[in-house]
Amino acid sequence: MKFRVTLKTPDVLDEAIQAAVDVSLQDDTSETDREALQDAAAEACALWFRYSELLTVEIDTEALTCVVVRL
């Protein structure tokens, strides 16, 4: 089965990046280093998220894939 999903929650990407940074870094990491890592992650995500809040993916449950179909 194939179906498409459009993700439209403005804060979800930023929240996911922040959570990943929190898990990756020690509690005593400086705020400057933490922000630099968050910025780098957001820049990498810009390959797939044009406006940070809108992404359409096609999920194929037989092939077990999830592909970006529209930015």
For residue range 23-64, list pLDDT tens digits in order.
888 888 899 999 999 999 888 888 877 776 678 889 898 999
Higher pLDDT, 71 or 65: 65
* Cα 17 from Cα 41, distance rounded (Å): 7
Beta strands (DSSP E) in 1-71 are 2-7, 55-60, 65-70
Q: What pTM did the predictor assign?
A: 0.65
What is the per-residue pLDDT for 52? Answer: 65
* Cα 56 from Cα 9, distance rounded (Å): 12
* Cα 62 from Cα 25, distance rounded (Å): 37
What is the per-residue pLDDT for 36? Answer: 93
